[in-house]
Structure 1
């Protein structure tokens, strides 16, 4: 039997949780649907990851976030968001992946691997950590290549190539080198990324300058083989012995998922979704975006501290619409009508 809600929130990260908290406070019937564990993306961050933001800037709903240092670690964030979910008894379904969101008449049909739900409004808060930016080179499919980094112990005493120059690449290079890996960084531009955490950037630059970590600038990968990696450098092709490759070149939102819902994307390389910044409503009436998904390929534009306000904006807009529409609307039959 289909279950109906005022609101369904797709994505159980910090912003999805913030939306659920706000909906619960305002008396809306809601459901958060998350394909993995609570704050799935944060769970998949490197085990020793430290946030750029201070703990108070990661707080949601003014619930204090107490950490040992000013900038919390991954495990502290997991504890914080998990306790919010459990202590507030949020209505959240975990390990349930949404397969489609379609609008019929004035309501939405949300299908998952387990169930079909109805909702008058839907919030998409799915982030961008699921789809890595691929190198698109021969050998990228080899088992020794990963687009995600977890624990430096795995790479001890191994020849490790780290592709990228952002926070994730720099953290991985430093941690693995300190655990005994032979680390080489492959950097597409002329320097380490300017957005690297200010207390980490001097560390990686010093390690490179002293020769502890090797670095190739203005360089790309042309091929990955079982025991070597081939580079295109300014001086020509270079072949390096190699055991593992961490291709930490960033991630992107699931644009195909957005397009199947009817959300329009800009035609340039930014792929910005169409939404009203004053209400967070997309070009599909009743369908909202929250969190980093709003930035398209500009994944550095939105993060927890500047998008947590989206929850209050969206719920206020939903309540405004519900107040204006005082007529009782019966649940639609999804067998009637065609998807918008």
Structure 2
């Protein structure tokens, strides 16, 4: 029996664990992958937009070599926080379902065990389910929705789908390692949210012709050695070795719906919760982090979600 179980071992899940620990609660963090699994799956050379102080949790200082930390520095920081504070975690244990009992206790079922708890925090982020292009050939081995590092693509013909930060990073890095890069962009240009130091770089590479870009375009079909691009002028076919589809990701809202959390009826599908306590329409089940925004995944970040942990633990302690 736990006072609190936290589903999700990302930065905000860890922040909830730190607050629970400080409050003297008997808690457990369940993570379906490795520690801070979403950050682990970020591109190897990624630099955060936020400064290191805005990524801190539990009043533990985050010192980085530069103002904006890298992925490797963030992994090191959150790992050290978890180890130093001895957070109670179980990794690689995915939650399948949550079922209520008549006495107000919840049973959490994972692929390995079952646990009982009085309170639940769901902090599962949004990096697990990619938006699919829904085109023929998307399931070929040459297609990926997760970009790791550029060396693999050296001397290859690479298509990058998308125009935001992940797509820009993939296009620039692979081009600099010797790939022949083509970008397929649905809108009229590079996204406005692209990091300020990367946006002029990619725009200049496109302008000079080093990287080819098709605007107002989308993928029509992918084949083993070619790709069809639907452009305003018609279908264009180019030779292709690999497709990096940086089409974005979405939270697992079906899981929330399955356990009984209501979602808004519009396309945002924002979950129902109290802004003051983060409590959902289900008693003693709370939401923390980017999942609170539903499909609007760009409204919440580590830096403006850390407060969720404080509000949730305060509500739990005051309710005891």
Q: For residue 336 of structure 1, what is the aligned residue in structure 2? A: none
- 2: CA distance between counterparts of 1:172 and 1:90? 34
User: Secondary structure of 2:296's partner?
Assistant: coil
Q: For residue 131 of structure 2, what is the aligned residue in structure 1? A: 133
User: Secondary structure of 1:237's partner?
Assistant: strand
Larger deviation, residues 97-106 vs 282-291: 97-106
Q: For residue 9 of structure 1, what is the aligned residue in structure 2? A: 6
Deviation at 1:49, TM superposition (A): 0.6
Matches within 5 A, 1:141-290: 141-290=139-288
For structure 2, the residue ranges without an aligned partner over 5 or more in a row are none
Instruction: Give CA-to-partner distance per residue, 1:221-276, whole Å, 9 cap, x none.
Output: 11111111111101111001100001101000011111111011112111111111
- 1: CA distance between counterparts of 2:17 and 2:58? 10
- The alignment's TM-score, normalised by the length of structure 1, stands at 0.93
- The alignment's TM-score, normalised by the length of structure 2, stands at 0.99
- 1: CA distance between counterparts of 2:100 and 2:208? 59
- 2: CA distance between counterparts of 1:143 and 1:204? 27
- 2: CA distance between counterparts of 1:25 and 1:61? 9
2:23 pairs with 1:26: yes
- 1: CA distance between counterparts of 2:119 and 2:250? 25
- 2: CA distance between counterparts of 1:74 and 1:37? 15
Deviation at 1:102, TM superposition (A): 1.7
- 2: CA distance between counterparts of 1:320 and 1:9? 18
Moved over 6 A (4+): none
Matches within 5 A, 1:94-113: 94-105=91-102, 106-113=104-111
User: Secondary structure of 1:309's partner?
Assistant: helix
- 2: CA distance between counterparts of 1:170 and 1:82? 28
Deviation at 1:107, TM superposition (A): 1.1
User: Secondary structure of 1:117's partner?
Assistant: strand
Matches within 5 A, 1:31-110: 31-105=28-102, 106-110=104-108
- 1: CA distance between counterparts of 2:167 and 2:265? 29
For structure 1, the residue ranges without an aligned partner over 5 or more in a row are 323-340
Aligned residues: 319
Instruction: Give CA-to-partner distance per residue, 1:160-192, whole Å, 9 cap, x none.
Output: 000000100000000000000000000000010
- 2: CA distance between counterparts of 1:226 and 1:264? 43
Instruction: Give CA-to-partner distance per residue, 1:82-126, whole Å, 9 cap, x none.
Output: 000001111000111111112222111101111100000000000
- 2: CA distance between counterparts of 1:39 and 1:68? 21
Matches within 5 A, 1:109-124: 109-124=107-122
Deviation at 1:59, TM superposition (A): 0.5
